[in-house]
Copies of this chain bind each other. A is one copy, B any other.
Amino acid sequence: MTERRTGSSPTLRDVATAAGVSAATASRALNGSTRNVSEEKLALVLDAAAKLGYVPNLSAQANARGSTNTVALIVHDIADPYFSSIAAGAIEAAEAEGLIVSMAVTGRSADRELEIVSTLRGHRPHAIILAGSRVGDDQDALVAELREYEAAGGRVAVVSQPGLPYGTVSVDNHAGASELAAALVAHGYRRFAVLRGPDALRTSRDRSAGFLAGLAVAKIKVDGRFVIEADFTEDGGHAAATELLGRGLDDVDLIFAANDVMAIGAMRALRDAGLVPGRDLAVAGFDDISAATDVDPALTSVGVPTRAMGLRAIDLALNSEDKGEIVWLPTAVVLRESTPRRS
């Protein structure tokens, strides 16, 4: 057992001493970019390091080098599958580059987000990734903070919130919904109802507009009284569908909801009214959350490549020269039993 102060790790100097070389040589052997160390000393140093259980102090290293090996990821809520999947992608990409990810959550508060950016900035991460759609309001303070970060050499990328002056990865909600509409028409559906979320939500807007546009291509129009706005939640979907049933279905054969949870709510409303979703009335959603395959019948939806979004965000931040670049990731229509083919 080597004598060593308790409560602290062996330092580079310890290793150097043990190996009988200078700290500089030990540094070169262990973490150096330039490999000008003799085989012999190299072995000595590596040996001593292993023996002592030496782990380089990354703070000190960062301090000396002036750069870290971390990236910061900011999400609204890591327990939300949407964000956790983005995080998974980001972490994967970061680890592939030898970077470690530090994470913080805003709880959807803009103030908190600003605080967090500032704190995280203290770690001098290679990049800061902001994930989560901003709620319109003034983001001047945030942009100012990020500007300073950039001025100091930091990279920024954002996920799903076009409008910030940074590399952005986003998903083409309009196109995805439009494709879904086309697929549904091909399945034989002709009369549609649309359950949309609040108009203030760009995501919801894009999806309903895209869906209607897709139908328009097939010369199908949707009667205004079959387009209903409600909360972007399961209860919202339930309420909207109930409202729809109240107005009279006429011969509507499919309900499109702007997201899966609304669609699931709508399915519940149908059942409450004694209808069988998928048989009496088809239902489709958007997001392809995991619950989409848990419900009965399984829900037709549009998959959003959340994991890929995280991956690309890291890539964008680290490797793109063109800030302001927007990467549009494709969605994927998934047809399931809630929209059986109509004979």
Residues on A lying within 8 angstroms of B by beta carbon are: 6-9, 53, 55-63, 66, 68, 70, 77-81, 84-85, 87-88, 91-92, 95, 100-105, 118-124, 148, 151-153, 264, 267-268, 271, 290-291, 294-296, 307
Whether B81 and A88, one on each chain, are in contact in the complex, defined by CB atoms closer than 8 angstroms, is no
Asked whether B95 lies within 8 Å of A88 as measured between CB atoms, the reply is no
> How many angstroms from the CA of A205 to the CA of B120 in the assembled complex?
43
A77 touches B88 (CB 8 A): yes
Given contacts A295-B294, A295-B295, contact A100 B79 (CB under 8 A): no
Contact of A102 among B62, B70, B80, B291 (CB under 8 A): B70
Can you list 18 residue pairs at the A/B interface with Cβ under 8 Å?
Answer: A9-B148, A57-B124, A58-B122, A58-B124, A59-B59, A59-B123, A61-B122, A78-B78, A79-B307, A80-B84, A87-B103, A88-B105, A100-B104, A268-B296, A271-B296, A290-B291, A291-B294, A295-B296
Would B105 and A119 count as touching, CB distance under 8 A?
no
Q: Are A55 and B122 in contact (CB under 8 A)?
A: yes
- A31–B58 CA distance with the chains assembled, in angstroms: 21
- Additional 12 contacts, C-beta under 8 A, given A55-B118, A78-B87, A101-B102: A7-B153, A56-B122, A58-B124, A60-B63, A63-B63, A77-B88, A88-B105, A91-B103, A102-B102, A102-B103, A268-B296, A291-B291
